[in-house]
Amino acid sequence: MKWLVVLVVLHGASSLVVKPEKGEELRWVPDVPLWIRLDKSRRECFDIHVDGLSQTIACDSDIFIDDPGIGEHSLQLFATFLPTASSLVYNETFRLVVKDTMPDWLSEDGKYQYPESVEGYHQWWYHSGVWSNTYWRGVVSHKAPTDMWNYQEIIHEIKPSVVLEVGTRFGGSTLFFSDVMKAVHQTSAYKILTVDIDHDSINSQLNREPRVEILTAPSASLRVQRRLKELRDELPGSLFVILDGDHGADNVTLELQMISQVLRRGDYVVVEDTNLDGHEFAVHPNWGPCPYDAVIQFLAMNSMLIFMWFALSLVLKMAGFLRVVGEDPQNIYSLELHNPYLDM
């Protein structure tokens, strides 16, 4: 008779979970779920429990769980290939804490507080189609004037040396950024890099802007990343990014993944159209996964490095304004989605 001996070796418990780390304090961000990343090299499946309650069974994917609330929480992993009595292989704690003053646009329970008239105007502005007739220098911009006002305030505050605009379309907003940057920098060097998958519709005025560079490429491509790195090396200073390309959640995630490699402390990222779906203020409640979902996941994964800095806006009021606040932004996490454009 031959015996087959199967030896199951469980590595140290701490290697099972990449984030959150044992005893880690995580910054609380309103509406942002808890992110859990397992060590994917293990190639094992686990039943994930938070505070004693089973949440999901996961193998090699990131897990997002509704915000469990401020305070200490337990995180337990049960191996799915072991009998129930001995399947607990990870049992640690972490904390969610408030490390920043609560913004004045939140109530004490962390809920957004807007007058009904503001929300009514937001819905009217979007559904009336007036957004399609917004111009700068006679060129369509497709942006809310209130948002453009916020943008110029941010640019005057951080004085970026490089502006990355994803989604050129007609070029009205590009001209707006060009005019604001001229006023901010006057004679000092700066560059506006505007990117779109095609530029057949842009206004000829853009060709007369010497510090505007037009790049035709997929928004999350290696070509964009390389050019952005070159500009950051040539022009020391902060970066202002506005993402207004394809509004699918996966595409926005790829864009965030692409730019995360070049972000530094103090940089500002604005993600447009977070108002489409995913929350109580949605203008298209059945639109599906949209920029809001990508931003929420990005915040969940990087709560110590990226913070929702400025969110009172007509169109982008749902978590659309992000600022790098961590000391080492090169540790920014992403969903690790396959990016077919990074070889372009």
Examine residue 111 and state whether it is found in any structural domain, yes or no. no
Instruction: Mark whether 93 and 209 lie in a shared domain.
Output: no
Instruction: Mark whether 185 and 287 lie in a shared domain.
Output: yes
Residues 285-329: pLDDT tens digits?
Answer: 998 899 999 998 998 998 878 876 654 454 445 558 888 887 666
Examine residue 54 and state whether it is found in any structural domain, yes or no. yes
Mean pLDDT of the chain: 85
- Output the pLDDT for position 180: 98
Instruction: Mark whether 216 and 285 lie in a shared domain.
Output: yes
- Output the pLDDT for position 4: 33
- Output the pLDDT for position 81: 86
- Output the pLDDT for position 211: 97
Examine residue 266 and state whether it is found in any structural domain, yes or no. yes
Instruction: Mark whether 29 and 73 lie in a shared domain.
Output: yes
What CATH code is carried by the domain that includes residue 69?
2.60.40
From 29-38, 44-53, 72-81, 241-250, the region with the lowest mean pLDDT: 29-38
Which one of 97, 124, 151 terminates a domain? 97
Instruction: Mark whether 141 and 84 lie in a shared domain.
Output: no
CB-based burial label for 110 (10 Å; 0-12, 13-18, 19+): middle
Examine residue 163 and state whether it is found in any structural domain, yes or no. yes
For the question of whether the overall pTM of this predicted structure is more than 0.75, the answer is yes
Count of structural domains, the chain: 2
Instruction: Mark whether 31 and 127 lie in a shared domain.
Output: no
- Output the pLDDT for position 314: 46
Instruction: Mark whether 123 and 193 lie in a shared domain.
Output: yes
Examine residue 175 and state whether it is found in any structural domain, yes or no. yes
Q: What is the 3-state secondary structure (H, E, C) of 89-158?
A: EEEEEEEEECCCCCCCCECCCCCECCCHHHHHHHHHHHHCCHHHHCEECCEECCCCHHHHHHHHHHHHHH
Examine residue 340 and state whether it is found in any structural domain, yes or no. no
- Output the pLDDT for position 329: 64
Instruction: Mark whether 124 and 201 lie in a shared domain.
Output: yes
Q: How confident is the model at residue 131 (pLDDT cuts 50, 70, 90)?
A: confident
Q: Name the strand (E) or helix (H) holding 63.
A: strand 63-65
Inter-residue contact 310 to 154 (CB < 8 Å): yes
Q: Domain limits at 311?
A: 116-331
Instruction: Mark whether 85 and 130 lie in a shared domain.
Output: no
Residues 3-41: pLDDT tens digits?
Answer: 333 333 344 445 789 999 999 998 887 778 999 999 888
78, β-bridge pairs: 47, 88
Select the more confidently predicted residue: 51 or 101.
51
- Output the pLDDT for position 309: 62
* 39 phi/psi in degrees, rounded to 5: -75, 100
Residues 88-124: pLDDT tens digits?
Answer: 999 999 999 876 665 566 666 666 666 777 778 888 8
Which one of 38, 65, 97 terminates a domain? 97
Instruction: Mark whether 198 and 317 lie in a shared domain.
Output: yes
- Output the pLDDT for position 107: 65
- Output the pLDDT for position 84: 77
Select the more confidently predicted residue: 105 or 71.
71
Which one of 32, 62, 97 terminates a domain? 97
Instruction: Mark whether 211 and 242 lie in a shared domain.
Output: yes
Instruction: Mark whether 82 and 152 lie in a shared domain.
Output: no
Identity of the residue numbered 158 = I
Examine residue 327 and state whether it is found in any structural domain, yes or no. yes
* CA-wise closest residue to 281 among 249, 318, 250, 251: 318
Percent of the residues in the chain that have a pLDDT greater than 90, as a whole number: 54
Structure token pair of residue 332: 């920014």
Tell me how far apart the alpha carbons of residues 12 and 126 are, in angstroms, rounded to a whole number: 53
What CATH code is carried by the domain that includes residue 157?
3.40.50.150
Q: How confident is the model at residue 275 (pLDDT cuts 50, 70, 90)?
A: confident
Examine residue 255 and state whether it is found in any structural domain, yes or no. yes
